[in-house]
């Protein structure tokens, strides 16, 4: 089977500006689909029909994959067949009749203000590594950055005098994110006292470096966060996205408007941001149930 997968992935980078994580997911999804086609004896992509895709989606459902995962796989297939059309490798797009699986929309897990404070206090700020960890937690909660944006931060993206951070989000879209006085002060202290001892190369551009002086990884940060979450005695699962959700929810509870939160989070569609209104409504219901005498 002659598959222009590399050309397609390169197209996604150049034309769509997709992130490495999205590219990896698309590549993995498509390779699994190609294996399915081979198992059916289909070797020509120009001949695949909608019926074949319906059958493939059926195999995904039988594997008990979530609706969200199925929708992502279908999105990858749609993009791929659209690319084949544009490259004149097909005259039609067999994914057009297919409907995206409905995904159950779960409310984001968030932390209380007390839990956030307890979490940020866990690192030993008397050491370079501990100071780095505390500042990363502070910055993540103060800005709502994605973990990929946090670990990719470079020194020239910091505008601490103006209390701003420039970050490159999904689709290679740059945005300015406000950062509060406390987080700005913590960053200055880290850059002065914590970062230099960790550096091996003084020319390294990354704000947050690992113990070997290189760029911190997503997995490395996730392990750090999990460690401090357990140490803080927080029973709920704490992930990098938990702090992002918490940032947005606390802003909304404090009276911030949805459009401003959308801009700070870098959401392309405000419907993505609206999930946080459900979180605050649930919070209000819980307050009512707890404190109203006739609840």
Average pLDDT per block of 10 residues along the chain, 295 residues long = 79 75 88 92 86 90 84 90 88 87 68 94 96 96 90 93 86 83 94 93 90 86 92 89 88 83 81 70 64 55
Q: Class assignment of domain 5-86? A: mainly alpha
Report the pLDDT value the prediction gives residue 19, as an integer from 0 to 100.
74
Is the separation of the CB atoms in 198 and 211 below 8 Å? yes
For residue 247, give the nearest of 152, 110, 87 by alpha carbon. 110
pLDDT, tens digit, 9 for 90 and up, residues 125-152:
999 999 999 999 999 999 999 888 999 9
Sheet containing 174-178: give its strands across: 158-159, 164-168, 174-178
Rounded Cα–Cα distance for residues 206 and 195 (Å): 10
The residues, ordered by sequence, that sit 6+ positions from 48 with a Cβ below 8 Å of its Cβ are 37, 42, 94
Portions of the chain given CATH number 1.10.443.10: 113-291
Q: How far is CA 235 from the centre of its chain?
A: 22
CB 165 within 8 A of CB 158: yes
pLDDT of residue 258: 81
Distance CA 118, CA 59 (A): 45
Question: The dihedral of CA 30, 10, 272, 206: what is its sign?
Answer: positive
Catalytic residues: 146, 170, 241, 244, 267, 276
165 in helix, strand or coil? strand
Which pLDDT score, from 0 to 100, does residue 261 have? 84
Return the DSSP state at 43: -
Helices (H), 110-198: 113-120, 128-143, 147-151, 181-189, 195-198
Q: Which CATH superfamily is domain 113-291 in?
A: Intergrase catalytic core (1.10.443.10)
CATH 1.10.150.130 region(s) of the chain? 5-86
pLDDT of residue 282: 65
* pTM of the predicted model over 0.85: no
* pLDDT given at position 287: 58
């Amino acid at each position: 089977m002659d598959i222009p997968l590399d050309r397609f992935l390169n197209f996604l980078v150049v034309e769509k500006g997709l992130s490495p994580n999205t590219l990896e997911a698309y590549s993995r999804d498509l390779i699994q689909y190609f294996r399915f086609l081979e198992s059916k004896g289909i070797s020509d992509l120009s001949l695949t029909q909608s019926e074949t895709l319906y059958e493939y989606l059926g195999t995904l459902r039988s594997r008990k994959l979530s609706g969200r995962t199925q929708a992502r796989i279908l999105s990858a297939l749609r993009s791929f067949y659209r690319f084949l059309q544009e490259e004149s490798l097909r005259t039609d797009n067999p994914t057009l009749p297919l409907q995206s699986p409905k995904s159950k929309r779960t409310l984001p897990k968030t932390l209380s203000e007390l839990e956030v404070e307890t979490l940020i206090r866990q690192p030993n700020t008397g050491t370079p590594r501990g100071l780095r960890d505390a500042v990363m937690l502070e910055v993540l909660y103060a800005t709502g950055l994605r973990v990929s944006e946090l670990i990719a931060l470079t020194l020239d993206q910091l505008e601490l005098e103006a209390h701003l951070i420039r970050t490159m989000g999904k689709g290679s879209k740059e945005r300015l994110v406000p950062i509060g006085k406390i987080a700005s002060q913590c960053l200055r202290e880290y850059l002065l006292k914590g970062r230099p001892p960790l550096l091996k190369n003084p020319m390294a551009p990354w704000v947050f470096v690992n113990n070997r002086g290189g760029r911190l990884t997503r997995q490395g940060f996730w392990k750090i966060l999990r460690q401090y979450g357990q140490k803080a005695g927080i029973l709920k699962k704490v992930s990098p996205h938990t702090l992002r959700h918490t940032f947005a929810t606390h802003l909304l509870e404090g009276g911030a408007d949805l459009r401003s939160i959308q801009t700070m989070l870098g959401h392309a569609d405000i419907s993505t941001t609206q999930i946080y209104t459900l979180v605050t409504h649930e919070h209000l219901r819980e307050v009512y149930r707890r404190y109203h005498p006739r609840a």
